[in-house]
Amino acid sequence: MKRLLLIVGLLLTVMVIGYLLGPTAQTDAVRNETFSLDPDLVKLEQSIAQSEQSLKLRPDNEARVVWADSRQKVKTPYSIVYIPGFSATWAEGDPIHKQIAQRFGCNLYLARTAEHGVDSPEAMRELTPSRYAASAERALAIGKALGDKVIVMGTSAGGMLTLYLAAHHPEIDGLILYSPCIAVANPALKLVTKPWGKQILDQVFGGEYVKNTHYSGGRERYWSPQYHTNGLITLQTMLDEFMTPDQFAKVKQPVFMGYYYKDEAHQDQVVSVPAMLEMFDELGTPTAKKVKKDFPDAGEHVIASHFTSGDLAGVYQATETFMKDVLKMPIVPVATELTIRQTEK
């Protein structure tokens, strides 16, 4: 019997060592990035458009500037940078980001993160944490060019990137987080950054690609229908490194967090609500400057898009209230045709 137990123990030891010594995905380290932008805002807009046009993107997925006043493309007191979530582009926050920007007279930058919106089945094969973070840094730099103060708004993994930026840039004026991805709802994704992670992914998806076949109603235009599983490894790597208590403690800015939760059976099935709530409590933001709100009627993970949300009015109103009451931002009256004509005289 002792001999049998010894053999079993040795076999288990060999298996554990074999697992720990297995292949692990190698990723490049995130670096501090600086960006040189044209101070002429019209030329900046043109350079953004030219850069986007040089890539093979799916139609209407390009990054863009939405001006507070398209007749006068000038810097506004506040700008908003919108960062979409994993596999998505600007429509993930539409129309809320545009409505809020218009309400408060903000220039709005609709960012496109690295490898997103690409018209290729190989999308995200080359995505790395460094490139992913750098695309968020560039979006913030553009936001600073567009406004004296910057509000960063993000959905899902865009919320993760928003928190990453906030921890490294205390000059950001405020954060709006819609269903931020602090951890995915399925804890199994944490395995992909461990030994044999890529091999596990390949077994789960039957190859190196994730295929989304459930999108309908035009949504497939703005969310990648197929992407390389390397993107998931990059996402989890960012979560492992930056969605941690020490990073949350560095976030001091005012924060609004909205998410879908009705009850245990009806809640966000994409990202973890408990992880969001734990993060919220660990933020360095003063209690009076942070607001969290559940939206039980949203019905979906993506709460700020007309493609998915069942409570756009509620999400808009709660966001507007936060910006008025916590950020103390003044509402800008919408100009009528009469006042425009009078101004132009």
- CA–CA dist 258, 243 (Å, integer): 18
Q: Are 202 and 208 in contact (CB under 8 A)?
A: yes
The label of the residue with tokens 């101070």 reads 39
Domain map (residue ranges) of the chain:
55-344
Burial 81-91 (b: 16+ CB within 10 A, else e): bbbbbbbbbbb
Dihedral sign of CA atoms 111, 320, 160, 247 in order: positive
The secondary structure element, H or E, covering residue 228 is strand 226-228
The secondary structure element, H or E, covering residue 293 is strand 290-294
- CA–CA dist 223, 219 (Å, integer): 6
Closest listed residue to residue 127, CA positions, set 94, 159, 157, 168: 157
The pLDDT value given to residue 197: 82
| Among the four given CATH numbers 3.40.50.1820, 2.60.40.1260, 3.40.50.1000, 1.20.120.1810, the one describing domain 55-344 | 3.40.50.1820
**pTM over 0.85, yes/no:** yes
What lies within 8 Å, CB to CB, of 105 at 6+ separation is 68, 76, 77, 78, 332
The pLDDT value given to residue 27: 65
pLDDT tens, per residue, the chain with 345 residues:
554 445 444 444 433 444 444 545 656 777 777 788 989 999 999 999 999 999 999 999 999 999 999 999 999 999 999 999 999 999 999 999 999 999 999 999 999 999 999 999 899 999 999 999 999 999 999 999 999 999 999 999 999 999 999 999 999 999 999 999 999 999 888 999 988 788 888 888 888 999 987 787 789 899 999 999 999 999 999 999 999 999 999 999 999 999 999 999 999 999 999 999 999 999 999 999 999 999 999 999 999 999 999 999 999 999 999 999 999 999 998 654 333 333 343
Q: Phi first, then psi: what are they for 81, rounded to 5°?
A: -110, 125
Q: Are 160 and 238 in contact (CB under 8 A)?
A: yes
- CA–CA dist 159, 192 (Å, integer): 21
- CA–CA dist 217, 307 (Å, integer): 8
